[in-house]
């Protein structure tokens, strides 16, 4: 038996070819573009055969008679028993012109070619989309009744059917599959489509919440999905039956699920929380259509909607089809498949296979280089204050990842020693001496960096000054507040505003500001330090909003306590849980990779929540710790050389309780 197939390299097409090859003495011809001719090895490996049984025919769907040479048409003779037309644009977001050219004009060209080679049966792969947005039950014998065909995909699939029905002189059969998902036995799939668009959202929910946590979701119409193996087996069987010409067959699930049930089925497969409360999208249908269109056309609404959909990994027009109004009758299909064992399996019996295959092979994050090297190799990264502590550890990791690391620090001797350490390890650190607390120095050194490196791709404002002293002991030390503000706020701003023009020019950049957990917890005894970091946080939030459309990202890291030279004079911290500089550097590098808006520890977030919800309780807690741990001798202006105070029982108990709690 001789077959001819268009779209043989597609997801359904290549499986249909493999199924047809199971028939004795079957030979399959398939259409292939000239540019694809030399890349067929993978297909033949999939089919498990050579070119003696599956023969390529060079052509183009958009050309008359498929652009197949006369000599090739002659070779086909009048021997083609079944002609399967699968090639089409299935992308809902594709331009209308290309859909018209391929789906409509391509079908007309295919029908004419099939007639020219004398094919005996013509089989069109259409789609349930040919019914448009018909409200109610759409039968297999219905066609002209289709409505709501405004979308290019719906219109072109409908019109392609019309061509076969009106212009094809060969006995024909039409197949309308539902949304085709992966193989029910293997989960195999080759593209993100249909329900797969929601998988990223489900994955994010799993990462954020435990599986037992109830969530709020959406409800809508019934979404009809079928596995690819059912479609292939059904088509193979129906195509070879006698007496079924001139009919249409709905390859659909007789009992489709509603949107909410479908998503919950995949949530269970992914071990993610289910949507126990679902809001029916139909509730919004009371708003007149013209008002909805006008509202969605507003620039702020459009941009917010686009940003949300992009973050969720969903196409912009996805929710247009949530309230899908059409149900599909499949009596004819059920009749011809009776007794064959070919049926749509329940989704919950194979949903886990679909999820597992997607997460292992199709998850978009698998194809994004999330390594530090992938994000910084060859890029200029400026880390202020890299002569010690967090800055030094961060610069080391970045240099190892292939970044052009630049640093600014005020201690020339210490900076030179760090440069020698880098060189001894085979790493390069471009060091500049400058005092970022001095505005003239900060501006000059920033311009020097730009002059010698051209641009700063990533800026990490790490240089800072911390002062631990109660306000009561600071009445005559106003300069403490001035010094912290000068470096932590004005110095960081001077560098940031120096590099921003180049970032704007190149339309990308990333500024990471190292803040403090104290900003979230309102830590007493750190009023000068926390105030300066809070100012930087506020500026960062404003800047992030202003540059949201310019390709420039801002990240604030509310860093927990880190064991660095900056806190060394305070011996109390020897007994308090802290991060190592390397651990802190890992947080910063993770921010470089993922570019989050904020990085905060659970302890810091807890403190922020307490201050927001129960401010008086939060004050009492912070005041208790404030009184429990007094200022250092230096802060209280006590004479040096005095024996240290013995920790109280409360202090020891608190230190032990907090040990390890910094995350």
* Cα→Cα distances 600→6, 169, 393, 445, 606, Å: 54, 69, 19, 31, 10
Quickly list DSSP for 104-151. IIHHHHHHHHHHHTT-SEEEEE--GGGGBT--EEE-TT--TT-B---S
Cα–Cα distance, 497 to 477 (Å, whole number): 30
Residue in this structure with the two tokens 């070779």, named with its chain if needed: 75
Helix, coil or strand: residue 331: helix
* Cα→Cα distances 317→88, 194, 256, Å: 20, 12, 22
Q: Which residues contact 457 (CB under 8 A, 6 or more apart)?
A: 376, 379, 380, 381, 503, 508, 509, 510
Greatest distance between any 2 Cα atoms in the chain: 108
Cα–Cα distance, 87 to 434 (Å, whole number): 64
b/e code 75-97 from CB counts within 10 Å (16+ = b): ebeeebebbbbbbbbbebeeeee
Cα–Cα distance, 630 to 310 (Å, whole number): 50
Other beta carbons less than 10 A from residue 320's beta carbon: 12
CA angle 465, 470, 474 (to 5 degrees): 80
CA 301 to chain centre: 21
* Cα→Cα distances 597→510, 541, 554, Å: 11, 9, 6
Cα–Cα distance, 211 to 271 (Å, whole number): 6
- Secondary structure E strands in 253-328: 257-258, 275-280, 326-328
Cα–Cα distance, 368 to 63 (Å, whole number): 37
Rg of the chain, C-alpha, whole Å: 33
Q: What is the DSSP letter of 450?
A: H
Structure tokens at 329: 């009758």
Structural contact between residues 217 and 387, judged by C-beta atoms closer than 8 angstroms: no
Active-site positions read: 529
Going by C-alpha positions, the residue among 571, 562, 154, 240 that lies closest to residue 388 is 562
Cα–Cα distance, 324 to 140 (Å, whole number): 18
Quickly list DSSP for 523-560. -TT-HHHHHHHHHHHHHHHHHHHHTTTTTEEEEEEEE-
Task: Provide the β-strand partners of residue 55.
Answer: 29
């Amino acid at each position: 038996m001789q077959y001819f197939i268009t779209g043989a390299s597609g997801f359904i097409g290549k499986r249909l070819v493999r199924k047809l090859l199971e028939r004795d003495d079957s030979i399959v011809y398939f259409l292939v573009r000239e540019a694809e001719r030399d890349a067929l090895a993978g297909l033949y490996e999939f089919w498990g055969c050579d070119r003696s049984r599956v023969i390529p025919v060079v052509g183009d769907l958009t050309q008359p008679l498929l652009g197949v040479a006369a000599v090739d048409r002659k070779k086909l003779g009048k021997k083609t028993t079944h002609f399967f037309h699968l090639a089409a644009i299935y992308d809902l977001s594709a331009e209308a012109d290309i859909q018209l050219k391929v789906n409509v004009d391509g079908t007309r060209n295919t029908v004419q070619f099939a007639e020219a080679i004398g094919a005996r049966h013509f089989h069109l792969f259409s789609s349930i989309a040919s019914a448009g947005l018909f409200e109610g039950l759409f039968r297999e014998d219905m066609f002209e009744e289709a409505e709501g065909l405004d979308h290019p995909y719906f219109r072109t699939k409908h019109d392609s059917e019309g061509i076969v029905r009106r212009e094809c002189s060969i006995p024909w059969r039409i197949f309308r599959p539902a949304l085709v998902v992966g193989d029910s036995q293997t989960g195999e799939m080759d593209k993100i489509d249909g329900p797969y668009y929601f998988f990223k959202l489900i994955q994010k929910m799993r990462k954020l919440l435990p599986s037992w946590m109830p969530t709020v979701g959406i409800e809508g119409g019934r979404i009809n999905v079928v596995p690819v193996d059912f479609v292939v087996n059904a088509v193979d069987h129906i195509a070879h039956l006698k007496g079924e010409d001139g009919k249409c067959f709905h390859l659909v699930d007789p009992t489709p699920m509603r949107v909410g049930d479908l998503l919950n089925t995949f949530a269970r497969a992914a071990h993610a929380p289910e949507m126990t409360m679902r809001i029916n999208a139909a509730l919004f249908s009371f708003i007149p259509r013209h008002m909805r269109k006008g509202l969605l056309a507003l620039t702020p609404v459009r941009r917010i909607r686009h940003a949300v959909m992009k973050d969720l990994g969903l196409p912009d027009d996805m929710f247009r089809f949530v309230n899908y109004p059409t149900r599909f009758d499949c009596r004819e299909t059920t009749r011809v498949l009776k007794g064959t064992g070919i049926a749509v399996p329940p989704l919950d019996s194979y949903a886990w296979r679909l999820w597992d295959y997607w997460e292992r092979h199709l998850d978009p994050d698998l194809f994004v280089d999330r390594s530090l090297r992938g994000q910084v190799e060859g890029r200029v990264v400026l880390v202020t204050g890299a002569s010690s502590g967090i800055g030094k550890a961060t610069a080391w990791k970045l240099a190892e990842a292939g970044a052009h690391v630049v640093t600014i620090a005020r201690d020339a001797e210490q900076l030179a020693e760090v440069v020698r350490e880098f060189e001894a390890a085979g790493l390069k650190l471009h060091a500049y001496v400058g005092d970022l607390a001095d505005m003239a120095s900060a501006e000059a050194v920033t311009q020097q960096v730009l002059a010698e490196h051209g641009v700063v791709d990533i800026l990490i404002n790490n240089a800072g000054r911390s002062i631990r002293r109660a306000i009561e002991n600071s009445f005559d030390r106003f300069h403490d507040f001035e010094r912290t503000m000068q470096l932590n706020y004005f110095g960081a701003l001077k560098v940031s505003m120096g590099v921003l023009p180049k970032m704007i020019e190149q339309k990308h950049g990333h500024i990471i500001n190292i803040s403090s957990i104290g900003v979230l917890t309102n830590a007493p005894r750190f009023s000068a330090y926390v105030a300066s970091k809070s100012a930087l946080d506020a500026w960062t939030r404003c800047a992030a909003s202003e540059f949201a459309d310019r390709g420039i990202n801002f990240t604030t890291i509310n860093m927990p306590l880190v064991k660095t030279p900056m806190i060394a004079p305070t011996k109390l911290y020897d007994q308090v849980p802290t991060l190592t500089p390397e651990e802190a550097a890992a947080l910063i590098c993770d921010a470089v990779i993922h570019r989050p808006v904020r990085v905060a520890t659970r302890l810091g977030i807890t403190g922020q929540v307490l201050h927001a919800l129960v401010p008086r309780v939060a004050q009492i807690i912070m005041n208790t710790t404030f009184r429990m741990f007094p200022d250092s001798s230096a802060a209280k202006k006590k004479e040096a050389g005095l024996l240290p105070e013995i920790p109280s029982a409360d202090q020891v108990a608190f230190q032990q309780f907090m040990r390890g709690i910094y995350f």
